[in-house]
Amino acid sequence: MDQRGVRAVIRRGYCDIDGGQLHYRQAGSRDKLPLLLLHQSPSSSVMYEALMQVLGDDYWLLAPDTPGFGQSDPLSEPVSIVAYARAIQQFLDALEIEQALVFGHHTGASVAVQLAHDHPQQVVALALSGPTLLSDALKNILPEKAKPFPLSADGSHLLSMWQRMRDKEPDAPLALTLRETLLGLAVGEAYPDAYRAVIEQPFGEQLQALTCPVLVFAGDGDPLYGQLDAAYGLLAKGEKQVIQGARTYACDLYANEIGAHLKAFFSRACKGN
């Protein structure tokens, strides 16, 4: 939102990639530096609308739905973080984007690191919210947190998904919980497949190999907060921030604070290149 209080216009479109179409949201001006926003599972690019309002004057913002989520077609190959990153790279190529800033939250952080690892020439700088450097304990817990609920005639599966999403952030606005519940119900097997892909990714090795500037941060209530220092310790060109009070839905509920951190970090990173 600019100083006059004018809301950024968020437009939606589809992009053809191998095996299907990728749905995305965009805002800002194409003559500005592209900033790619990669969402968590089982959400979609809708989780970035608040942040796009904050950043719309500064970047060309591009928020795709990961294949199989939101309104994007599922992958035409087995699910993996490599495959997700390949789809995103094809999206960038289709839009003729040679270089971009990249931000990812949770699963989006996994995809962002994979993209920067596989295509370092395309990523100018990287910001990661809730970096997915998983402990063995988290790897054991995550599959249960994405386990599908079988359809039931009494609709109990609906309440079960609602409760799962509510447990992530009990104080979140009810409308946000409803949005995420509906997204979680819609994706089916893509939900556990994405979590499995995150567990299988050699995230730490890839993070340590990056040579671009990287900002890692998390809310102090984020389930991945405990991994923040370890992730920061792996970075060759790293910065770290903590968002006080933020949890799973930080990008929705702390958009102004996160936006300020992103603008400051990306400004420093671009001046250093």
The Cα–Cα gap between 20 and 254 comes to 33
Q: How far apart are CA 59 and CA 80, in angstroms?
A: 29
Cβ count near 271 (within 10 Å): 7
Cα within 13 Å of Cα(57), Cβ side? 10
- Alpha-carbon gap, residue 207 to 62, rounded angstroms: 23
Q: What percent of the chain has pLDDT over 70?
A: 97
Question: DSSP strand E in 130-223: where?
Answer: 214-219
Report the C-alpha gap between 263 and 219 in whole angstroms: 18
| Matching residue, tokens 């997915």 | 132
Residue 2, pLDDT above cutoff 50: no
Domain 11-146+192-272 class, CATH top level = alpha beta
pLDDT (0 to 100) of residue 273: 64
Residue 28 and residue 61 in contact, taking contact as beta carbons nearer than 8 Å: yes
Element (H, E) at 157: helix 156-168
3-class DSSP state of 127: strand
Which pTM was predicted? 0.95
The kind and range of the H/E element at 51 are: helix 49-55
pLDDT of 8 reads 85
Q: What is the pLDDT of residue 272?
A: 78
Does residue 3 have a pLDDT over 60?
no
Pairing of strands 214-219, 123-129: parallel
49-93 per-position pLDDT tens digit: 999 999 999 999 999 999 999 999 999 999 999 999 999 999 999
Name the least confident of 137-151, 168-182, 223-237, 243-257: 137-151
* DSSP letters for 86-121: HHHHHHHHHTT-S-EEEEEETHHHHHHHHHHHH-GG
How much is the mean pLDDT over the chain?
95
Q: What is the pLDDT of residue 6?
A: 64
Q: Decide the pairing of beta strands 20-27 and 60-64.
A: antiparallel
Q: What is the mean pLDDT of residues 128-139?
A: 95
Q: Residue 1 pLDDT more than 90?
A: no
Domain ranges of the chain: 11-146+192-272
First-to-last C-alpha distance (Å) of the chain: 28
Nearest partner of 166 among 181, 187, 151, 182, judged by Cα: 181
Q: Note the pLDDT of residue 4.
A: 44
Place of tokens 């984020």: 222
